[in-house]
Amino acid sequence: MKPDVKPILPREVPENYRLGVDGWSFPKGKLMEKLADGTRKLLTLDISISPDSFVEAVNTGNLKGLQDRVNHFYNQICPNNCTGCFEKGDIKHNLLSWEEVKKVLNEARGLGLESVKFLGPGEIFTNPNLFGILDYFQENKIKIGIFTKGETLGDDKLSRRYQQMSSEELTRKVCNYDVTRILIDCRTFDARKTNMLVHSLSGDYSRARNHAIELLVENGMNSDLFCQRMSLQTNPVTLENIGDVLEIFIWGVERNMPVCVTPTMVSGKGRNFVSETKGSEFQKELIGLYSDIYVHLIKRGIMNLNQLEQEGVSSYAGIMPCNQLSCGMYIRKDGVVQCCPGNDGEPFTLFEDVRKKNLREIWTQSKNYALGPLFNNRCVKDGYSIPVQLYDEVLANVKKELKKL
């Protein structure tokens, strides 16, 4: 069952309309910006914000037991406990407190920070300090994209349990912060499959997720064609849901909701799905899906072939190419600094602990910084869960299909 949301994209698509959540990727001109001393700006960070009680529980004890304590207490901060959670990687250091995270963010502000994405651990909407956290980002004019399963926003029982208010009140209050961007799970519209894929305390995740999407729309998160404040996340795309993704993408497009389409992270428990992506059947279907998405966008007048050739195929099919690497980094909950959350392999670690070096040095000495202002970074999952031939084959397929028109 689909959320009850009406299409809003005009038949004649406005000039310069793009699909992409505001604050996720940046235009070429923005990537070129520098500080007064010539340092290229650190425009974005992916970050982890752990609840204070979780930090205290995990950090109490010897370092050897860190991982066991994270696993033991994780259910207290996340009602979903997903089998492929990329955030559940190896822990190397004590967890960062909110005060330590703010210290990093304040350093980043001095380097030009404009946005962050919250990646965990767990759901930020279960954090007792939710509004203190959002107040910080609002006061400092930093956009925050929040990855969420959405059920706390769509289920009264859970919203009252965690935030002592109805789901309508919670969603309204969150949306009233003009810095918030909601990146909500939507891997399939099939209710049975949805409830099978996501463990839920609501008893009916599909219903709660759909209600959350409806409430976000009621609060205007998709209303501005040129400032998209919500996105549907179909990731990870697997054999289980790949046949459902094109329908979600087209549905989202007509409602001004960019849809994120990409295979599994090569991080944490997401690594358990990587072997599936190596199969020829999955790779063929994935390349076909990406191709169908671009053909649809060109037919719909949202982009054209020349634009696709200039920008290149995006690792997030159909939306603005990712430039996280060339203008940002990922700060994990244990302070490890990675190129990106997409791959936690050793080659993608930039620094062992953000507490032991100032952020300016970490940034300017990183392989991310060395990339320069690259508009399309492709992905750290290339050759792992994304087939290396995808980009060329998708472009070739699109050209071939357009010749038939």
Catalogue the E-assigned strands of 40-168.
44-47, 115-118, 143-148
Calpha distance 90→67 (Å, rounded): 7
Q: Pull the structure tokens for residue 371.
A: 């990339």
Q: Is 55 left (phi over 0), alpha (psi -120 to 50) or beta?
A: alpha
Best CA proximity match to 263, nearest among 251, 276, 253: 276
Is the Cα dihedral 68, 70, 71, 76 positive or negative? positive
Domain count, the chain: 1
Calpha distance 139→252 (Å, rounded): 31
Q: Pull the structure tokens for residue 90.
A: 């190896």
Calpha distance 255→28 (Å, rounded): 26
Q: Are 261 and 249 in contact (CB under 8 A)?
A: yes
Best CA proximity match to 84, nearest among 273, 235, 344: 273
* Burial class of residue 59 in the structure, from the number of CB atoms within 10 Å of its CB (0-12 exposed, 13-18 middle, 19+ buried): middle
pLDDT at 84: 76
Angle at 124 between CA 155 and CA 160, to 5 degrees: 35
Percent helix, strand and coil across the chain, each to the nearest 5: 45, 10, 45
Calpha distance 40→383 (Å, rounded): 29
DSSP for residue 8: -
* Burial class of residue 310 in the structure, from the number of CB atoms within 10 Å of its CB (0-12 exposed, 13-18 middle, 19+ buried): exposed
pLDDT at 169: 98
Best CA proximity match to 374, nearest among 20, 24, 26: 26
Calpha distance 317→218 (Å, rounded): 27
* Burial class of residue 21 in the structure, from the number of CB atoms within 10 Å of its CB (0-12 exposed, 13-18 middle, 19+ buried): buried
Q: Which domain holds residue 109?
A: 28-276+320-379
- How far lies 96's CA from each of 58, 92, 333, 336, in Å? 10, 12, 6, 10
How many Å separate Cα 94 from the centre of its chain? 24
Question: Residue 133 domain-assigned?
Answer: yes
Best CA proximity match to 91, nearest among 71, 119, 61: 71
Question: Residue 98 domain-assigned?
Answer: yes
pTM of the model: 0.96
Question: Residue 9 domain-assigned?
Answer: no
DSSP for residue 164: S
Angle at 54 between CA 59 and CA 116, to 5 degrees: 105
Question: Residue 302 domain-assigned?
Answer: no
* C-alpha gyration radius of the chain: 20
pLDDT at 92: 92
pLDDT (tens place) for every residue of the chain, 405 residues total: 899 999 999 999 999 999 999 999 999 999 999 999 999 999 999 999 999 999 999 999 888 888 889 888 888 888 887 777 888 778 899 999 999 999 999 999 999 999 999 999 999 999 999 999 999 999 999 999 999 999 999 999 999 999 999 999 999 999 999 999 999 999 999 999 999 888 888 889 999 999 999 999 999 999 999 999 999 999 999 999 999 999 999 999 999 999 999 998 888 888 888 998 999 999 999 999 999 999 999 999 999 999 999 999 999 999 999 999 999 999 999 999 999 999 899 999 999 999 999 999 999 999 999 999 999 999 999 899 999 999 999 999 999 999 987
Q: Say which residue the tokens 């500080």 belong to.
A: 35
pLDDT at 296: 98
- Phi and psi angles of residue 328, each rounded to the nearest 5 degrees, phi first: -160, -175
Torsion of Cα atoms, 293 then 116 then 274 then 381, to 10°: 70
Q: Are 116 and 143 in contact (CB under 8 A)?
A: yes
CATH code for the domain in which residue 161 is found:
3.20.20.70
Question: Residue 41 domain-assigned?
Answer: yes
Strand order in the sheet with 115-118: 259-260, 230-233, 180-185, 143-148, 115-118, 44-47, 328-331, 337-338, 349-351
